Chain A
Amino acid sequence: MVTESPRASTAGADELLAHVGRLRADADLMDGYARRLRATAATLAACPAAPGWSRPALARQAAACASAADRLRSAAEALLTHARGDGPVTGSWTAAP
């Protein structure tokens, strides 16, 4: 019969929490990418040689980045819920800066 030791369970929870932190940081990164793409679109608006398709395409992709950021946060929450049930997790997780 195989039993799971508490120490192994704690290690697994820590690993999951590390993933949660990375997911939240990546969500913030994706928000940053969305902002950068919007800023690039704004720069191109002032450029006479910019192709007409470029601004809508960048706006579309910025929206996709923001959407991906939301999904990453949702995934982080789901993973955090799972991790809380996996070991002694106390307090709330703060995303890495």
Chain B
Amino acid sequence: MRADGTAPGRPAPGGPDPGEVLRGCARDVLEVAEGIRAVAERTATTLHAPGLTAAARSRPRTGLAARWALRRALTGGRGLGAPAATTPVEGPRRGAARALGAAGRALGGESLAALVALTSLRLRVAAVLADHPELAQAPGMRLLTRALAAERDRDAVRALRTLLHDRTAQRALSGLAPLISQLLAVRDVLDGDSESGAAPGAEGGAEAVDLADQRRRTLATEGSFLGFLRNIEVLSTDGRILIQNVRGPDAVVRYVLQAPGTAPGRPRSDAPQDLVGAWRDLCGTDSPYTRSLVRAVAGHGIPRGAELALIGHGEGGNAVLNLAQDEEFCRTYRVTHVIAVGSPAGDRKPADPRTWVATVTNRFDLVAAPDGSSADVGALPDRAGPAVPAAPAGTATPTNPAGPADPADRTAPAAPAGPAAPVDRTDSAFASPAAPVAPTGGTAPGTRVARTGSAAPVDRTAPAAPGASVPRTGSATPADRTGPAASARPAAPAASARPAAPADRTPPVAPASPAAPGSSVTRTGPAGPADRVGPTGSAVPADHTVPPAPPSRAGRYDVEYAGPGREFPLCHRLREYIEHLRTLVPAARADIDEALTPYRGPVVRTQAYRLKDHVHPPAGHPFLTLATAPVRTTVGPVDVPVRYYDSAAAHLCFPVDPAAARSLLPDAAWLTPSRLGHRALAVLSVHEHRCTTIGPYTEIALSVLVDDLWRPRPYDAVTDLLRRVDLRRTGRYVLSLAVTTEAARVVAQEIWGQPALRMRVEADLTGREIRARSQDLGLVVEGRLGPGVRCPDADRALYGRRATSTVRTLVRAHGRLRLHPGAGVRVRLGTAAAEPLAGQLRRLGIDTARPLFVLACPQFMAHRGGGAVLAR
């Protein structure tokens, strides 16, 4: 304990945030690394300058001395180190410079810039883990920390360089949202060779697809903001988007495009690429996703000039923001609204200045606000490439006087940019007082909303927001609706810089409902009555410090709030956003709903489109390129085969007493353990599924090898090793299964007939040291894998039971399975270990035994089909 009463490693009260200090230091050190790299490149240019080369020939004594001094500055033990490959040397000399760099590295001298960049990245990782310790278990973070943990710096640089070029690791790394910008910058310093992602103008495609009945029934039939978001959630993240035709209050049919993002741990619709390419695809205005959206809109038959709202979450939000920047698209259609939830919005401006842009961001969502720093959002695309033209921070944007910049702006919208839509479009709905207005809650304390545009009178009789739990701490001024955070901040530009609008003198509105702490709402442009600054005098809780509001931007409505939990990726999930919009920031939801008034009516047509990426093969191609069909479960339809894109496994194989094994099998005479000599074989399998179509999860399963159900033969278990999995007669009967997610439990139980329980399990199976621990089960598996030999893929047939039938499931795997001796691995069972797994392990004697051998695979792909029900 320190003198000030705080523990070491904890921030002193009132002191700077350690995470922020580390981030600042990391930024500073990275700048130094980039500077050193530039110096090294200039020195290399001097060394290879034609003037020096020519002069050295004419006067070799001084010329060679000068060249030697320059070379020593570059490649000496304590010099700058080998120059990066981006040196501006041209032609054959570039090859010489590259060879010089390679030779320097081969002799053990990493460039000073690379070493300093490594320090910067290590500091950044420390900062991220200080703020988000839960990320320590993320697959990408584990890969990264393993690379950075090499004993010598130069080994760490090499490991990092290898990792950044390892295509199989890109999926995991691209999940490290708060580190992406740093990784890209460090990658540039290390070698500068960035592969581009999609070629410019890469083709995307979209194909109309039918939704399963169950999904279709859950889609909203009336237009509303939350309804559209729920639709996106229903779509899941399997590369489908939705376009709905909505008949507005003015009987005009308008169109709403709804685009989901990708979820951490779920596959993307394309193959993993180079990190830079993946990020460009994510953020680029010309990405396959964005172009596929254009195809979908064209295929939907939307008439030119028709009004269109674009709504997206995560990567989908990115794509719709990109789409709104597309001038040709905006000339063809009148994009009236763009709403991005949980997306890094930056300062992107739509091509049509009348387009109203809204963003909703949970401050702890690392995808939307990497590392909690809005600066990073803008920095990211710049680092990744020139694809996203980000306006410089602080640039004053002229207020948009023409467009319906504010939901409450009921003035007639400007005519469509393209030819008139063939719909009877009257603008009365915009001005109609009868237009439905959702009951409005208050803005959460600390909510920050940035709004631009003129505001119009809104008769808000705002009842207390349902579910808003933070009590009101001050009295609301009439027409004062922004959360207390805005008022608490002395220089919140959103609240203070707005000129008072005449509309501010409209009749007082009802008090705003309570609001959540730590959120902020910033509106820019002339304030209207809708601009109600919230209860003054309420303090923002210390743990919800509100950063300065972003600069005012025209046509924008930015909502940033602090959710109740900061765990990532939970706070990025759309379901969380929907819940927060409903309960935590209901005013923002109401404002956006108001803005969407022209789209709030019955849905007259719904069509889903599957997006296609013509440039990149689908993820897992060709092994996971399979026909799938939805199977109904209690958690919704699940596409089978279930596909596993990135998994690790360790199968601990124990010889056990056949009688003990038989006693654990169901009471059916035809289920008999296979014998290998006088023993049966039990397998304790640990799987770490990092990316699957049912989301990431970890599982521990205990199974017993069983004979053919109909005609058991003595050596089936041995001869089956030589057969294809679909021809095998034996299989493994799953006695117990523990999984970490509800979706995995339901799928295992309802589709595969396996007795699954939901438990907490942590596993790391990617290195030579394997470790799995389940507090709930009281089980620990750990140890070091000894030398191993390659063996065929672990295809297998699994058996389960459903009612009185046996369910047979085929699992096909593709990876580098290795057979290791089991001596170094052991199972430990706590005294209070939970049934049923613990009891079964004890009865089999596994709790004290070491495995005979271990089949391990740190990375593989697999797919599991639907279970075939057998009449046995």
Interface residues of chain A, those whose CB is within 8 Å of chain B, are 4, 12, 15-16, 19, 22-23, 26, 29-30, 33, 36-37, 40, 43-44, 46-51, 53-54, 57-58, 61, 63-65, 67-68, 71-72, 74-75, 77-79, 81-83, 85-86
Contact = CB atoms under 8 A, between A and B. Distances in A.
A29 B35 contact: yes
Given A61-B112, A74-B73, A79-B52, A33 B122 contact: no
B32 A4 contact: no
B774 to A, nearest CB: 30
Contact of B69 (A12, A30, A48, A74): A74
A22 B56 CA distance: 19
Contacts of B68: 78
Contact of A82 (B19, B63, B112): B63
A75 B64 CA distance: 11
Those 3 A-B pairs whose CB atoms lie nearest each other, nearest first = A49-B18, A71-B73, A75-B69
B116 interface: yes
Interface string B73-85: 1001011100000
Interface string B53-89: 0111011001101101110110010111000000000
Contacts of B29: 37, 40, 58
B55 A40 contact: no
Contacts of B18: 47-50
A12 to B, nearest CB: 5
A78 B51 contact: no
Interface in B1-19: 8-12, 16, 18-19
Contact of B43 (A40, A64, A75, A82): A75
B25 A44 contact: yes
Interface centre among A30, A43, A82 (most CB of B within 10 A): A82
Contacts of B32: 33, 36-37, 65
B58 A33 contact: no
Contact of A50 (B10, B39, B78, B126): B126
B65 A78 contact: yes
B758 interface: no
Contacts of B191: none
Interface in B740-771: none
Interface of B: 8-12, 16, 18-19, 21-22, 24-25, 28-29, 31-32, 35-36, 39, 42-43, 46, 49, 51-52, 54-56, 58-59, 62-63, 65-66, 68-70, 72-73, 76, 78-80, 112, 115-116, 119, 122-123, 126-127, 130, 153
B127 to A, nearest CB: 8
Nearest to A74: B69
A82 B22 CA distance: 46
Given A22-B42, A78-B66, A79-B66, A58 B119 contact: yes
Nearest to B131: A49
Contacts of B116: 37, 61
B42 A26 contact: yes
Contacts of A61: 112, 115-116, 119
B122 A51 contact: yes
Contact of B59 (A26, A50, A86): A86
Contacts of A81: 62, 65-66
Nearest to B76: A71
Contacts of B28: 36, 40
A68 B80 contact: yes
Contact of A49 (B58, B72, B73, B130): B130
Given A49-B11, A61-B119, A75-B43, 5 more contacts: A43-B25, A48-B8, A49-B126, A61-B112, A63-B78
A67 B74 CA distance: 11
Contacts of B79: 67-68, 71
22 contacts: A12-B55, A22-B46, A23-B46, A37-B29, A37-B116, A44-B22, A47-B22, A49-B130, A51-B122, A58-B119, A61-B119, A64-B112, A64-B115, A68-B73, A68-B112, A72-B39, A77-B69, A78-B68, A78-B69, A79-B52, A81-B62, A82-B56
A48 to B, nearest CB: 5
Nearest to B20: A47
B79 to A, nearest CB: 5
B58 to A, nearest CB: 7
A40 B29 CA distance: 8
Contact of B78 (A49, A67, A74): A67
A19 B58 CA distance: 19
B135 to A, nearest CB: 15
B122 A54 contact: yes
Contacts of B112: 61, 64-65, 68
Nearest to A46: B21
B39 A30 contact: yes
Given A15-B49, A47-B18, A26 B39 contact: yes
Contact of A30 (B36, B51, B55, B122): B36
A47 B32 CA distance: 20
A82 B11 contact: no
Nearest to B36: A33
Nearest to B58: A4
Given A37-B29, A65-B112, A19 B52 contact: yes
B89 to A, nearest CB: 13
Given A43-B21, A57-B153, A16 B52 contact: yes
A40 B25 contact: yes
Contacts of B24: 43
A45 to B, nearest CB: 11
B59 A82 contact: yes
B9 to A, nearest CB: 5
A78 B79 CA distance: 16
A37 B26 CA distance: 11
A79 B43 CA distance: 12
B19 A72 contact: no
B70 A75 contact: yes
Contacts of B80: 30, 68, 71-72
Contacts of A15: 49, 51
Contacts of A74: 69, 72-73
Contacts of B58: 4, 86
B10 A48 contact: yes
Contacts of A67: 78-79
A77 B62 CA distance: 11
Given A72-B73, A81-B66, A64 B21 contact: no
A68 B79 CA distance: 5
